[in-house]
Amino acid sequence: KMRRGVATLIVFLLGLVALAVIYGPALLDLVSERARVEAWLQALGPWAPLALIALNAAQIVFAPIPGYFVQAAAGYLFGALAGGFYGVIGMLLGAALAMNLARWYGRPLVARLVGPARLQRWESIIHSDSTWPWFVLLLGPVGDIPYFVAGLTRVPVWKILLIALLVRMPSVFVAAAVGAGVINIPPAWWLAF
């Protein structure tokens, strides 16, 4: 049973890697412009919420770019509340996948995904098995790399996800509200989120 589970996991991950290699450049191109993300999601019709959740999760793992474009597109398409909700689900799924990939495949995979020099810088900042430093770290505008680094520690995944939910959920809803046109934030202020 254990071998079958490991084999299934390996096939699944190889499939994800193949999809990333095949569609990764197109995904990066797509998510680099908010208007393109919105047009793509609108074209999906009723599948748009699932695609948005998957896109938000994928941008954490395969293209650590700011998810605010995707979350703003969610707000534009679904409104501030529903868009924020979909954004939070995608953020948590992507964070869980990033941490688990780091746990399963270790430092070599994380170094390949984020770069060895960048990983070394992050590890010099934080490599703690305590939850409090992660809480403080995730409060700042640090992107998605901390999820991979957290996966290299002994902090339980659920604790990091709970911290991410508490400290990052407000910024996801702000991004969705901006996309929905409920609030207007100057682009320079995005760094605070």
- Vertex 71: Cα angle to 36 and 64 (nearest 5): 80
Q: DSSP assignment, residue 156? A: -
Average pLDDT over residues 104-120: 86
Residue 100 CA neighbour count, 13 Å, CB half: 10
Does 100 have pLDDT greater than 60? yes
Does 191 have pLDDT greater than 50? no
Q: How many separate helices (H) and strands (E) can be counted in the chain? A: 9, 0
8 A C-beta contact, residue 159 and residue 131 = yes
117-170 pLDDT tens trace: 888 888 877 777 788 888 888 887 778 888 988 999 999 999 999 999 999 999
pTM for the model stands at 0.74
- Vertex 132: Cα angle to 131 and 137 (nearest 5): 100
Q: Three-state DSSP class for 66?
A: coil
3-21 pLDDT tens trace: 665 666 666 666 666 656 6
Between CA 9 and CA 21 the distance in angstroms is 18
